[in-house]
Structure 1
Amino acid sequence: MDVQTALVFALQLVALFSIAGALLLYLLCKIRGNSKPDENGTSPGGGKPVLITCCDNVVGLQVAIHLANRGFRVFAGLKEGATEGCNNDDSVPSRVIRSWQKHRESTECLTTGALIALPIDVTREDVLHEAVDIIRAHLPAGKDGLWAVINTGGLLYRGKLDQQNISHWDAMLKTTVLGILRVTRAFQGLLRSAGGRIITFGAIEGGEAGLVAYTASRYAVEGASNALREELSPMGIKVVCLNNHGLPDDLMFAMPKLKSKQESGDVSVDMSGCLDYYPTALSDTALQTLDVAITSGKPKRNYTLMRNPKWLNPLQFVKVV
């Protein structure tokens, strides 16, 4: 081999190794970029365990699926079918969760996200204590803590104060306010172990005729969150309250419905075989705000979810991806 041929061959090798090195560097940067916080301070879930107390409504179900897709290990509380462990429950939330699980199993997805349904009734301490044991059993070896507990349970009954049944007041306060206190007491140990956080949906701005008791329950949640923040701070537990101004009250705790094919009446699925349901509750911006609240090392006391509520279309469908 003459000198000129050898030189050309050497240059080709240098170019080849340069391309390979550049490609390797790009892949390393891509991997590191996916594991670092983005410009909003959020980062992938990394398998962190999170409990959503109620996925029977559209807010809880949407948050659960969103966080599971973000890589969190989500425990989705379902009141329906609690005695059967939710596996045989035919409710819409349970079917949607099972479709997410089946789709994830059928695709060789490398994400650490998971969605685990478990029975939770925030009005029953015995069920809450059983849920603690179930979560502990599903945590990875050596792990004994929850990164976050997101309180999405609640009730809304409309009616003027002088006409409304007092039992409706009791039910709203028992579920919305006392439910958060019961959940906090039951899961305090798991939260303390992980230095976790409690997230609540607090007061709405203003008020509306026919929603006096409901509005009172929302402000009570915010007041309880402030007091819990002071009490739990020495234990390393953070408390974050989300302001849901702009989110329609009736949509907050609406029950999800499956989208059906108009012609055949069959349940609609997307291209990957996952179930479609509606309505949409939280906008993309609201979900990004939630991401910040749940991933920030030093979260704020309060976040506003709906900065531009005009976007909302209550009939917009949510696609389970």
Structure 2
Amino acid sequence: MAKRILITGAGSGFGRGVALGLAQKGHHVIAACEIWPQVTELRQVAKDAGVDLRVIKLDVRNEIDRNHAFENEIDVLFNNAGIMESGPALELPMQIVRDVFETNVFAALAMAQGFGKQMVRRGSGKIVWTSSVAGLVKVPWDSAYAASKHAVEAFCSALREELAPYGVKVATVNPGAFRTGFNDTGMEAQDQWWGQGERVMEHWPVRELNRQHDPQEMIDAMIDVIEADEHPYRTIRPAVAEDMARREQQEEWERKV
């Protein structure tokens, strides 16, 4: 049966792939993009592909945009919008940390609250939240992003228990490293501020991200979770990332300082 699905962060990467994929399968998809140029572009992409896709402007940090989105009745919220900025925790500008949390945690929680209340009143619905493998393990030089995704994990696990009695499901999808450009720009962003102050640490060595995976694997897994009535609470791709996360979590219990 066709579902009504709203996807944040649909202007690029996983969000765009999932939006187009679900629309091609006959679902009623609202693809939410952060800025107007993304809206215009994605509408043209959908038109060229012959896909019925509704595209709206939604900066998840913008209360006006959120309230406009909340006018829609949906079955599934795919809370996917997010940003990443790299850098050592000791040197990270506080504004960078605040920006990461504002998007990945506070704005995403506001989206979950708005649509979650609608779902509770109706007695059905699902919130699928893009977390990350970084929300489960240590990630040196990406601590702000990882910390925001650890916070996402905490909210999702709480929401899962709190909303279950009301017929509302909660799940996470946890990507590892995929070739969407997200990780590349997250690393490059450090150079915007590194030279603007005195540093006591060495710049993170620039390295080529040449071990990233085909994003279609993650897109397919996300579509499966959104469509299915029964599925795991947490979905990690690729399999090597799940193995790594399980191993590192166990190592933390045994680590000595």
Same fold (TM over 0.5): yes
Runs of 4 or more, structure 1, over 6 Å off, are none
2:144 equivalent in structure 1: 213
Gaps of 5+ in 2: 187-211, 242-257
Change in Cα spacing, 1:164 to 1:303, as seen in structure 2 (3 Å) is: same
Correspondence for 2:55 among 106, 109, 117: 117
Asked if 2 retains the 8 angstrom alpha-carbon contact of 1:58 and 1:253, the reply is: no
* More helix as a share of residues: 2
Asked if 2 retains the 8 angstrom alpha-carbon contact of 1:55 and 1:77, the reply is: yes
Asked if 1 retains the 8 angstrom alpha-carbon contact of 2:77 and 2:127, the reply is: yes
Asked if 2 retains the 8 angstrom alpha-carbon contact of 1:240 and 1:302, the reply is: yes
Asked if 1 retains the 8 angstrom alpha-carbon contact of 2:10 and 2:19, the reply is: yes
C-alpha distance in 2, partners of 1:282/1:65? 17
State the AA in 2 paired with 1:131: A
Q: CA deviation at 1:182?
A: 0.2
State the AA in 2 paired with 1:54: G
State the AA in 2 paired with 1:66: G
Matches within 5 A, 1:288-299: 288-299=220-231
Larger radius of gyration: 1
The C-alpha deviation readout for 1:234-270, integer Å capped at 9, x for no partner, is 2211001112124369536969xxxxxxxxxxxxxxx
1:270 equivalent in structure 2: none
1:314 equivalent in structure 2: none
1:97 equivalent in structure 2: 43
C-alpha distance in 2, partners of 1:246/1:131? 30
Matches within 5 A, 1:1-321: 46-81=1-36, 90-91=37-38, 94-104=40-50, 114-133=52-71, 135=72, 145-192=73-120, 193=122, 195-205=124-134, 206-247=137-178, 251=182, 283-307=215-239
Asked if 2 retains the 8 angstrom alpha-carbon contact of 1:78 and 1:94, the reply is: no
Q: CA deviation at 1:101?
A: 2.5
C-alpha distance in 2, partners of 1:60/1:194? 26
Asked if 2 retains the 8 angstrom alpha-carbon contact of 1:55 and 1:64, the reply is: yes
TM-score normalised according to structure 1 size? 0.60
Q: CA deviation at 1:124?
A: 2.3
Change in Cα spacing, 1:212 to 1:196, as seen in structure 2 (3 Å) is: same
The C-alpha deviation readout for 1:162-217, integer Å capped at 9, x for no partner, is 22211000000110011221001111244343711111122415333321111111
Change in Cα spacing, 1:76 to 1:253, as seen in structure 2 (3 Å) is: farther
State the AA in 1 paired with 2:146: T
Asked if 2 retains the 8 angstrom alpha-carbon contact of 1:199 and 1:241, the reply is: yes
Q: CA deviation at 1:289?
A: 2.3
Q: CA deviation at 1:102?
A: 4.8
Change in Cα spacing, 1:218 to 1:120, as seen in structure 2 (3 Å) is: same
TM-score normalised according to structure 2 size? 0.73
The RMSD of aligned alpha carbons is 2.7
C-alpha distance in 2, partners of 1:96/1:79? 12
Gaps of 5+ in 1: 1-45, 82-89, 105-112, 136-144, 256-279, 310-321
